[in-house]
């Protein structure tokens, strides 16, 4: 790993190739920071100014020098629980423990959690986020719980593609679950600002406005100029559909755990947390109305 030659900080980002991680890599490297992009296959990455690719796998013991020259860590990487990764919860938890054990010298460690994280969560995803938050409790730690992230990737982009090709939207329990959103660029800003906050805390990063899932899908359909048919489905039936699709190796980007997560979604008053981050997140319409969200 490169020795730090200038006064610019060094930030390590796990999941650096992912939707949120790649935005962070670009943002901090454009600012002139040294970015250590932690990825599974560093040898296959495109060269980027100010970016050093470093090998990192959640399922393997990290190199003890992994974060030696680093000032800040943002942990975004996670393994999605599915039939290929039945042990995702344990692996993600163990990886977080290993990261924490090796980097007590850092100025700040940011764990990217989720609004699905809470004591009543039943999905593996929500439970694992809640369990990992409990590890990030020293004064240099911040846990951020983003709402549904809108940008050129992630679940929203997948959903837009699905709507454009299939013209249907399966609605779990009538689509009445609450959803709050955040544009990816606002989330990146929130992450940067949380690097200078004092003390350990958990903050939710989402626009305070609460939509139902149905309202959200209607806005998305309008934005991508597509007519869709809403099909209300009981949760058990949707689980059967997803399981069958996976068994037949059909390309479905949702898992049974995603569906179970929808059951326990909660809304949160985020105004206090946004104030601490000095963030005025853009609206749903403005977030969707960016060229990269449209296909
Ligand atoms: N997107 C959202 O709406 C949203 C909302 C709330 C919270 N979050 C949280 O934000 C974080 C990032 O989400 P995202 O949307 O950016 O997800 P993503 O695009 O799927 O990125 C996940 C990253 O994890 C990496 N990863 C997977 N398995 C790994 C392993 N075994 N070892 C090392 N890295 C591994 C992937 O690496 P490869 O590129 O090599 O596959 C990928 O870069 C996640 O923790 C997620 O829970 C996301």
pLDDT at 255: 82
Low-confidence ranges of the chain (pLDDT < 70): 1-6, 294-295
pLDDT in the model for residue 151? 95
Calpha distance 133→121 (Å, rounded): 13
pLDDT in the model for residue 295? 58
Is 18 near ligand 1, meaning CB less than 6 Å away? yes
Predicted confidence at residue 109, as pLDDT, reads 96
Give the largest Cα separation in the chain, rounded: 58
Q: For ligand 1, what atom is nearest to the CA of residue 150?
A: 3
Instruction: Supply the pLDDT for residue 242.
Output: 84
User: At what angle are helices 124-133 and 256-263 packed, to 10 degrees?
Assistant: 70
pLDDT of residue 135: 97
Q: Which residues make beta-bridge pairs with 289?
A: none
Q: Which protein residue has the closest C-alpha to ligand 1 atom 8?
A: 114
Ligand 1 atom 36, closest CA:
15
Q: What is the pLDDT of residues 140-188, one digit of tens each?
A: 999 999 999 999 999 999 899 999 999 999 898 889 999 999 999 999 9
The pLDDT score that the predictor gives to residue 147 is: 98
Residue partners of 280: CB distance under 8 A and separation at least 6: 274
């Amino acid at each position: 790993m490169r020795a730090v030659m200038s006064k610019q900080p060094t930030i390590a980002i796990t999941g650096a190739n992912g939707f949120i991680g790649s935005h962070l890599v670009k943002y901090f490297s454009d600012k002139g920071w040294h970015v250590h992009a932690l990825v599974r296959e560093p040898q296959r990455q495109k060269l980027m100014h100010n970016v050093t690719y470093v090998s990192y796998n959640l399922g393997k013991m990290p190199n003890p020098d992994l974060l030696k020259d680093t000032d800040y860590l943002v942990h975004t990487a996670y393994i999605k629980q599915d039939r290929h990764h039945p042990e995702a919860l344990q692996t993600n938890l163990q990886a977080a423990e290993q990261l924490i054990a090796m980097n007590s010298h850092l100025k700040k460690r940011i764990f990217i959690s989720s609004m699905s994280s809470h004591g009543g969560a039943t999905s593996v995803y929500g439970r694992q986020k809640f369990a990992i938050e409990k590890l990030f409790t020293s004064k240099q730690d911040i846990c951020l719980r983003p709402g549904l992230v809108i940008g050129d990737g992630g679940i929203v982009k997948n959903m837009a593609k699905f709507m454009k090709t299939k013209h249907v939207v399966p609605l779990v329990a009538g689509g009445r679950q609450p959803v709050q959103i955040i544009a990816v660029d606002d989330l990146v800003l929130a992450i940067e600002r949380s690097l200078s906050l004092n003390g350990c805390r958990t903050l939710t990063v989402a626009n305070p406005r609460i939509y139902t899932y149905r309202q959200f899908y209607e806005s998305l359909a309008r934005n991508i100029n597509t007519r869709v048919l809403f099909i209300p489905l009981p949760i058990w039936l949707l689980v059967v559909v997803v399981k069958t699709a996976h068994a037949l190796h059909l390309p479905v980007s949702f898992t049974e755990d995603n569906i179970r997560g929808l059951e326990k979604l909660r809304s949160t008053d985020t105004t206090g947390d946004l104030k601490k981050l000095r963030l005025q997140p853009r609206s749903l319409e403005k977030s969707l109305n960016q060229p990269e969200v449209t296909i």
